[in-house]
Amino acid sequence: MGTAVEPAAAQRFLEKFLEEFSQPFGPDNPPPVNPLSRKVSREEVRGESLDLGLRLLAAREAPLALSVSLCQAAVAELMKSDLTSFELPQEPPQEEEETTAVTLLESERLQHLFLNKLRDVAAAWKQQLPAAPAAPCRFSRTSAHAIRNTRRKMEDRHVTLAAFNQLFGIQDGVDRQYYAVFDGHGGVDAATFAATHLHVVLSQQDGLAKDPSAAFKSTFSHVDDLFKVKAKRERLRSGSTGVAVLLAGDWLHVSWLGDSQAMLVRKGEPVTLMDPHKPEREDEKQRIENLGGCIAFMGCWRVNGTYAVSRAIGDFDQKPYVSNAADCSSVRLGGDEDYVLLACDGFFDVVRPDEVPGLVYEALRESEGRGGAEEVAQRLVSQAKTAGSSDNITVMVVFLRDPDQLLREDTSSPGEATGGAGQE
């Protein structure tokens, strides 16, 4: 059943869940959680269904391990089904060079089927819980917090997925965890799409185990291609930067588009994992100019006088100047790493990486005895706001060691520098 969960707690939840949803879902019994889209392509079915299922179960405080395993099993059953009855009339090609019509599925009726699969799995497990494999050995408490701040809309999205393998039924003996932050602009659609589908596409990459960097690069490009089809169909104009971290065994892999960032802290010292894509970065400026574009300063550096990011998902009116080619780096973990921090530019524009270790340590110290780690991200977001950030702010801290252990160590004292760029 994925990560270990107390059988009694699982049984209590399943009984309560089946009592609430005693009748099958259908036209007269609308989904208790709204699907993200009215129409979906076949390739979007898995991500949209997982998103709906996880939101539904989280709202009912399902044990996380049980929630992930239920959704994985229900989606596996859904994908075995004949989905032709959900097909909508084919839409004509959207571009002159396109020769095939687009086949879409009606999302709400499709999600009725998924939720009924979820009920069926829950009913079967209520009778007999499947055996639970050993829980992942890595310790990783996570603290995440996000605010709209002074912006009119909240366009950030973030994903915490400690049970990556369990959600996708991967059984290759390598413990994997996935974390990501997406910073949308011009609307939230690109960020929402990436947050829904990037980890799904990544899980399907043949080279995930042997070459995670190549898998990540292919994933970002493919998700951008998928969103392009949706954006044309629904006339969406948004874009999103993104940074994603995959913890795989004793390796940390980070991949990014744009200026959202991830950093590692080891023994209280920051370790540089990446160089964010910004229009004014010399190699980015040269790349854009070689394509016939330009960088102009209009309050900040912008690509062709428009977007303040040089790589992103979406922003199709400025492709290829705004590139969808992600970069990656990898670091082998030695066991003395403290945590990984992911955040959007609303944080990193006002907080320097070398300030982070002190801020995290102070947040841990002041919240000791009151939940500790869970309050860290909130404190960091507050610090960025106090420092003058007016943007959406999202911060996620993934602890690689027990926060209580970090408190016992003198991480506030200067130590031997351990920072260094990750290896491609």
**Predicted local distance difference test score (pLDDT) of residue 3:** 46
- How confident is residue 103, by pLDDT bands cut at 50, 70 and 90? confident
Distance between CA 315 and CA 322 in Å, rounded?
7
**Predicted local distance difference test score (pLDDT) of residue 140:** 77
Distance between CA 14 and CA 126 in Å, rounded?
6
Q: Does residue 412 carry a pLDDT above 90?
A: no
DSSP state of 162: T
Any idea which of 11-25, 127-141, 147-161 has the lowest mean pLDDT? 127-141
Provide DSSP, 293-349.
Answer: --EEESSSEEETTTBS-SB-EE-GGGTTTSB---EEEEEE--S-EEEEEEE-HHHHT
> Average pLDDT over the chain, rounded to whole?
91
- How confident is residue 423, by pLDDT bands cut at 50, 70 and 90? very low
Comparing CA positions, the residue from 313, 304, 260, 314 lying closest to residue 279 is 304
In the chain, % of residues over pLDDT 90:
79
Higher local confidence (pLDDT), 30 or 167: 167
Higher local confidence (pLDDT), 313 or 35: 313
- How confident is residue 404, by pLDDT bands cut at 50, 70 and 90? confident
Any idea which of 129-143, 171-185, 190-204 has the lowest mean pLDDT? 129-143
Distance between CA 224 and CA 77 in Å, rounded?
27
**Predicted local distance difference test score (pLDDT) of residue 368:** 75
Instruction: Please check whether the domain covering 142-408 is classified as CATH 3.60.40.10.
Output: yes
* Tens digit of each residue's pLDDT (9 = 90 or more) over 215-227: 999 999 999 999 9
**Predicted local distance difference test score (pLDDT) of residue 94:** 61
Q: Does residue 414 carry a pLDDT above 50?
A: no
Stretch(es) of the chain classified as CATH 3.60.40.10: 142-408
Higher local confidence (pLDDT), 65 or 424: 65
What residue spans of 60-106 are helical by DSSP H? 64-80
Q: Does residue 4 carry a pLDDT above 80?
A: no
* Tens digit of each residue's pLDDT (9 = 90 or more) over 37-51: 999 999 999 999 999
Mean pLDDT for the stretch of residues 310-339: 97
Please indicate, yes or no, whether the overall pTM of this predicted structure exceeds 0.85: yes
β-pairing, 295-297 vs 393-399, is: unpaired
Q: Does residue 126 carry a pLDDT above 90?
A: yes
Q: Does residue 70 carry a pLDDT above 50?
A: yes
Mean pLDDT for the stretch of residues 262-270: 96
| 32 prior amide bond cis, ω within 30 | no
Phi, psi dihedral angles at 253 (to 5 degrees): -115, 130
Q: Does residue 234 carry a pLDDT above 90?
A: yes
Distance between CA 187 and CA 237 in Å, rounded?
7
**Predicted local distance difference test score (pLDDT) of residue 421:** 41
- How confident is residue 318, by pLDDT bands cut at 50, 70 and 90? very high
**Predicted local distance difference test score (pLDDT) of residue 420:** 42
CA atoms within 13 A on the CB side of 293: 24
